[in-house]
Amino acid sequence: MTTPAKNLSDLLHFHVSEVRKGEASKSDLELSGTIDRTADVQEGRCFLLLHGQDVLIGLGGDLKVLDAVRGAASFNTCDGPAPEVVVGSEMAYVRLWQPYQVWMVVEPRWKWNREQFHATDAIARVVDTSDVSILQGEEVRKWVEIRQAGKETGLARFYPVLPSGKAKLPPVGPDNTVKGGWDHAHCELCSGDINAEEYGYIDLSEHWVCDECYHKYVEKHDLSFIQ
């Protein structure tokens, strides 16, 4: 039996009964209402998704369950200016996913191309931290950060600098360039690697999904990857 696809209406929803301006910042909102199945909700950071014109708007903030029996809950936005929310709004709740990751799957006009991923150079720098991480029984205070050369994507990868030198670090040239160091992309939906010369699907913002997730979720506009 084929499992039916999950859409936005199948997600948990927050039902707004009261809207107030935030006390700390007038650009924030304090929402009161109820949420479906509070047993499936974790308090704290999450997104509520609101349909705008041709876009799915994500309100980032903190959710608190006030009464688990009746589903009473409150939500305070804290990610900058919030869009207008009216009493009676119903917003889908997601915790571990960004709004764009939901929208890229449910929006049929989202543009995708199947392409081969090619490795590109990366730029490396050493990052000193005041925090100590224990890896392989050793104290790590330094990391090698690499970012894709020539692009400001905000993405970075980190390699630990172990005092013993056991960790395999990327070969960094004198100009801090790692030849072919940006050698894989991560699927937005399963976090699996799309390695150099492998095929996947890429959107106009250079988000990648693997072949399997594209056919399983994107092609069917199925949100079943959201538990």
109 lies in some domain? no
Is 57 in the same domain as 141? Answer: no
The arithmetic mean of pLDDT across residues 114-119, rounded, is 96
pLDDT confidence tier of residue 25, bands split at 50, 70 and 90: low
3 lies in some domain? no
Last residue of a domain, one of 95, 124, 157: 95
Instruction: Give this prediction's pTM.
Output: 0.84
76 lies in some domain? yes
pLDDT confidence tier of residue 131, bands split at 50, 70 and 90: confident
Q: Which domain holds residue 149?
A: 114-218
Model pLDDT, residue 43: 94
Is 126 in the same domain as 163? Answer: yes
176 lies in some domain? yes
Check whether 1 has a pLDDT greater than 60. no
pLDDT higher at 83 or 80: 83
Model pLDDT, residue 189: 97
Model pLDDT, residue 172: 85
100 lies in some domain? no
Q: Are 199 and 208 in contact (CB under 8 A)?
A: no
| Strand 177-182, strand 199-203: pairing | unpaired
The arithmetic mean of pLDDT across residues 107-126, rounded, is 94
Check whether 104 has a pLDDT greater than 60. yes
Check whether 92 has a pLDDT greater than 80. yes
52-71 pLDDT per residue, tens: 778 888 999 999 999 999 99
Model pLDDT, residue 198: 97
pLDDT higher at 225 or 166: 225
pLDDT confidence tier of residue 106, bands split at 50, 70 and 90: very high
163-210 pLDDT per residue, tens: 887 767 778 888 889 999 999 999 999 999 999 999 999 999 999 999
Last residue of a domain, one of 95, 122, 142: 95
Check whether 21 has a pLDDT greater than 90. no
Model pLDDT, residue 2: 65
